[in-house]
Amino acid sequence: MAKLPSSTQIIPDAPSVPRHIAIIMDGNGRWAKKRFLPRVAGHKRGVEAVRAAVRACADRGVEYLTLFAFSSENWRRPLDEVKFLMQLFVHVLEEEVVKLHRNNIRLRVIGDLSRFDEKLVQLVKASEEKTEKNQTLTLTIAANYGGRWDMLQAMNRLQREHPEKAGNYSEEDLAPYLSMGDAPEPDLFIRTGGEKRVSNFLLWQLAYTELYFTDLLWPDFDAKALDVAIASYQQRERRYGRTSEQLQADAPQRGAAGA
């Protein structure tokens, strides 16, 4: 398994345009409620916002976009809403994968798929296989995903494959077994809907990610809103444990290395 740089072990580059953006798409139900519509109408409108986000990220040179579509805790929602979300997921896979493939976008789905019905699982596999060689953007959908589940399944897999190292596992050993083990850590995390928490999303990977929260509900999040989030990110000082003085002293050296 490939081993990618970790922000807790090295000082990674801090690109001006985030290489990887992760988003919690919150507020679909509230968007619908404000318009006296059923919650499912907000989820339908949210799919349009996903399309807009994918286009905007591809246009701006973002390489990875990871979207939290359904958490392991979302099964607690009303049964009718959960059923609709599963049907919507199937519909989106059936309708959107051809467009993604045409635009050279790779699709991945992470999470525990064991609770999904066989039709959905097969659609996921077929969609991933169809788009696996595409390179413009990697779109990852987190479905029945939880950060704690991710770390546990990674440790269990590592232990099964390397029992001889039990008791001496390192961060480098574990990281490749995580669901996002083949992707760089997110540079920018966005959560819409006004809530200010990460809700069990990419707990390992967000260690040094810049966090951005907006009151915009997800169906209202568009390319302009993405630009505002990226502009906020560009004003951040990504120190990775260093002081501002060290960062400034290091800047000319990094510039010379890239010349």
Q: Which residues are catalytic?
A: 26, 74
Angle at 134 between CA 91 and CA 4, to 5 degrees: 110
Q: Burial code of 101-110, b = ≥16 C-beta within 10 A, e = fewer?
A: beeebbbbbb
Amino acid present at 134: N
Sign of CA dihedral 146, 150, 152, 156: positive
Task: Report strand pairing: 137-145 vs 188-191.
Answer: unpaired
Helix, strand and coil content of the chain, in percent to the nearest 5, comes to: 50, 15, 35
Region of 254 (left: φ > 0; alpha: ψ -120 to 50; beta: rest) is: alpha
Residue 208: CB atoms within 10 A of its CB come to 18
